[in-house]
Each structure stands twice: as C-alpha cells, then as structure tokens.
Amino acid sequence: MGIKAALPRYELYLYSAVLSGALIWAGSWIFEASSDNVNRKAFKESVKPGWHYFGRKMDVADFEWMMWFSTFRNHILFALIGHVIFAKIFTLLAPKHRPLVFAAYGGLAVLVTMGWTFMALVVSHCIILYSVALVKKKWMCFAAGLSTLASIKLEPYNSWQEALVTGSFDLQDILFYGGCGFSIMRCMSFGLENCDRKEGNYTFSDLLKYNFYLPFFFFGPIMTFDRFHAQVRSLIHHLTRKEREMWNITTKALLHLGVILVMDVFFHYLYILTIPSDMKLVNKLSDWCLAGLAYSNLVYDWIKAAVMFGVINTVATLDHLDPPQPPKCITMLYVFAETYLKFCRYVYDYIGENHDKIFKELLATVCTFAITTLWLGPCELVYIWSFFNCFGLNFELWVAKFFSIPPFSIMEGAMGEAMSRRIRGVFNAANFWAIVLYNVLSLNSLEFAKLVGRRIIFKGFPLSTLSVLLVTYCGVQLVKERERQQALLEDPDPVKPVDDGKEKAE
C-alpha cells in the first residue's frame, strides 16, 4: 500500500513498549545463562579473561571480530594508516597518478604480507581473466571466473594453490581465501564491464589499479568496476570535497569506534556467541532465551559487517571515493529480497529483470545462490542455507502473486490502508522469523537452528509461538513507520497527477 498508511500514535507507542520490554526480558535470560555458566568446561576455549576492571570474562568466540579489533588490530591499522599517508603525500606530489599510487601501495602491502608466490598467483588470475575479457563474451567471462573461483574452493586444486603461499601465521588462511576470492570477483566484474564497452577495451593497468586497491583487497566490499573506474578517473581532474564532508567522515569514524567499545563491553555480560555452541546448555534454556539468542546473533553479525564496512569505507572516503554502503540491519528486514544479493547486478537483476515473473525469478535466484554457494565453499550447511533462502525469495513472489488476484485484491482495496498495513505486518512477522531461522544455521549450527525452530514453532505452541510473533509484529510496524516517514521526507507530496487526469499514490 502507499506511504500514507499511518497508524495512530498511541498504537506506535504501544508497539515500542512491547518491543522494548521483550528485548529487556530476553536479555535478562541471556545474562543469567552467561553468568551462571561462565566456568563451564565447554566455555573454556571461547570465554577468556577480559578487561580487568570489569571483573568478568569475555566472549571471544568470533575469531574475525577479535582479529580486527584485538589480536591483529595494530597490523590492520598500520596498513590502512600507511595507505592514507601514502595517498596524501602523492596527492601533493603527483595528483594525476593517484590511482597508480593506490595500486602500487596495495601491491607492495600484499607482497610483504603474503609473499611473492601469492602475489604471482593473484596476478596470474588477473592475466587469465583479462585475456578472456578481451573476447567480449559474457558467458566466457562467467565460465572463466567461476572456474577460477572453483579452483580455490574445491579439492584438490585449492590445497595445491594454498601450498604455494610460503610461511605460516594465524591469518594466512583468511587472507589467502579472502584475497584470492575477492580478486577473482573483481576480475569478473572487470570482464563483464569490458563486454559492455562499445569501443575498444579497458587496459590491463586499469584492472591492476582496480584489483590492488588495498582497503578492498582482502575483505571487500566489492565495488563494481564501472563505479570504481569512473570515480578514480574523476580524481585526476578534481579533488574537492563537499561541504562538511570531513566532519561527516570524522563523525562516522568516532561512531564506529564507539560501537566497537560497546560491543566489547557487551561481550563481557552476554555470551551470545558461545552459548549456542553448547547444546547441552541450550536444551535447558527457556524459549525466550533461545529466541533472544537467535535474534541477537543475527544483529551482531550485521553490526560486525557494518563496522568492518565502515572502517574500510572511511578510508575509501578519505580517498575521495564513494564506496558501497553497509548491509541493511536485520532488524529493518522483513522481506528476503532486501537481505542478500549484494553482487546481484550481473546475475540476479540481469536474469530476473523486474522480479515480477515467476519463472525468471526462480531462474535468477537459483543462479545467484549457486554462485553464492561456490563463493562460500560447497558443503552441507551451505547447501541447506542456499536452498532455504532461495525458496524464501521465490515464496514471497508466489504469495504476492496469489494475493494480487481476486477476490483478495478486491478485499484489500476495500479496506483502509491502515488495516491493510496491519494485516501485511502479520505476514511480515512470520517472514522475519523465517529469515532469522534460515540464517542462524549458517552463523551457529544446524543443530541450534533446528532446536530454535522446534521449540518456538512446535513445542512452544501456542504461547511461545504467538508471543514471539506478537513482539516481532510490533517491531515490523515500527520499521514500516520509519520507512513511511523517510519516504515522506524524500517526497512530501506523494500524490501527483497522471496523464489520464486521475491521481495515484506513488
């Protein structure tokens, strides 16, 4: 329905009160479970001494978070600060060669960190995929790119390539697969954009400048080649900043620092990452505690991605680039279509077009999640995750198509917009928990996801099921209200005349 579907203010206040109370209630259960079981044998490896003035141990189960903001924090900061300083110096000395300087510093950092054999492997991938790109056949770019990606994800080829990297350190596996994986995806983007170029080809140096931009090299995000190339070319001609841009960059950097500190404090009191790994303990927890753990794990995963994106994007913004935005918060999601597919332009949008045809949407989602499965590394858990999320995307379209036919469309048209929004909110609440359950299995384990689903949907029915859906419904309505207000800010007068003299709501 249109953005005019406002709800009474007292109703929104009620939703806020219910949601806040439920989150505090679930948090208290998790805090109690964390405090009472801090010395469990199963917690020994993932609950370690934290900040001494808290007097509590800290959940350190997430290696990636600890790597970024604890164990390898200084190394990452050193590399990124070096990039910023290096870029600033050469901006003054040779502003027209900034893109080349970025690539040179990135290549040097990769060489020093991973060794010449890894560097040679990445460059060989670039040469192969650049050669294919010159043919200007999209299917060949896809085939070559996916085959190269498969070579670092499937045995025995990945073990052979990994063995080429000399030395041994804690981050070697992560940097190897992250560096190679993102490099191949960038080469695919380059090749596909070269296919769309009508005259001539992009040069190999354009690919190297794109691929070896250090902030994006190991951990992403993936900025498609056309965006990167256009922005980098503009740097040659002018380097002016928008009004208050530095203020915004500083504010975002301080915000990210604040979030990191808050999360570290949070890990001293709520062991949301460690508890789901102990199934003996999890079986003893209440339904509210399980629902809180499942939801908080997804929120944390988004926070982690947003902070990591934010740190990298801050550096990219200092370089006068406009990087991809962080993923949308799970709390703001109630449809699958907004959840994934960040690299969807070449597959999901290309095949699915407007995403309103059942067969095209099915083909688009199958192809997209097939590539995602290869990217993540084929295994049973990834197969299950891909299947259910692919199903979720298509099921949304099937339901939308079903309710768009009479008599359902007539019934919805006859009721008020506010009532339509409430009814849709019920379906969105159920859909939200489908998103949660489908993704908890990839963040924690299949056993934990099955237990949460069984306890909330079956064993907890009707009390736990309906109460969790009620709380989720309140959250969905608050999100819808926020979206409505943002839409009104962007377009204060959504009702505009059309050609036939009638008016319609956009």
Mean pLDDT by 10 residues, the chain (506 residues): 68 93 93 91 88 83 84 82 86 80 90 87 94 94 92 80 66 80 92 91 94 89 87 76 84 91 91 93 93 91 86 88 74 48 70 85 89 87 89 84 83 82 86 86 88 92 92 90 82 53 36
User: pTM score, two decimals?
Assistant: 0.84
351 in a domain, yes or no?
yes
Per-residue confidence (pLDDT) for residue 442, from 0 to 100: 82
**Residues 432 and 468 grouped into a single domain:** yes
Per-residue confidence (pLDDT) for residue 338, from 0 to 100: 46
**Residues 173 and 42 grouped into a single domain:** no
Which residue segment(s) compose the domain that 60 sits in?
1-64+253-302+323-489
**Is residue 156 reached through a cis peptide bond, with omega within 30 degrees of 0 on the bond before it?**
yes
Is residue 145 within 8 A of residue 191, CB to CB? The reply is yes
453 in a domain, yes or no?
yes
- Of the three residues 196, 212, 237, the one that is the final residue of a domain is 237
244 in a domain, yes or no?
no
**Residues 330 and 422 grouped into a single domain:** yes
Per-residue confidence (pLDDT) for residue 372, from 0 to 100: 87
**Residues 103 and 141 grouped into a single domain:** yes
- Which of 270, 315, 314, 316 minimizes the C-alpha distance to 292? 270
**Residues 214 and 342 grouped into a single domain:** no
347 in a domain, yes or no?
yes
Per-residue confidence (pLDDT) for residue 139, from 0 to 100: 92
First to last CA, the chain: 9
363 in a domain, yes or no?
yes
Per-residue confidence (pLDDT) for residue 341, from 0 to 100: 47
d(CA 273, CA 279): 12
- Of the three residues 237, 271, 286, the one that is the final residue of a domain is 237
47: which strand partners? 59
84 in a domain, yes or no?
no
**Residues 185 and 129 grouped into a single domain:** yes
Q: How many folded domains does the chain comprise?
A: 2
**Residues 172 and 140 grouped into a single domain:** yes
**Residues 282 and 343 grouped into a single domain:** yes
Per-residue confidence (pLDDT) for residue 393, from 0 to 100: 81
User: What pLDDT, in 10s, does the model give residues 292-313?
Assistant: 999 999 889 888 888 888 888 8
**Residues 485 and 351 grouped into a single domain:** yes
d(CA 391, CA 397): 10
**Residues 233 and 362 grouped into a single domain:** no
Per-residue confidence (pLDDT) for residue 363, from 0 to 100: 92
**Residues 191 and 54 grouped into a single domain:** no
**Is residue 407 reached through a cis peptide bond, with omega within 30 degrees of 0 on the bond before it?**
yes
Per-residue confidence (pLDDT) for residue 93, from 0 to 100: 81
d(CA 21, CA 288): 12
**Residues 209 and 103 grouped into a single domain:** yes
Contacts made by residues 264-268, CB under 8 angstroms, sequence distance 24+: 264/50, 264/51, 264/58, 264/69, 265/54, 267/50, 267/58, 267/59, 267/60, 268/50, 268/51, 268/54, 268/56, 268/57, 268/58, 268/59
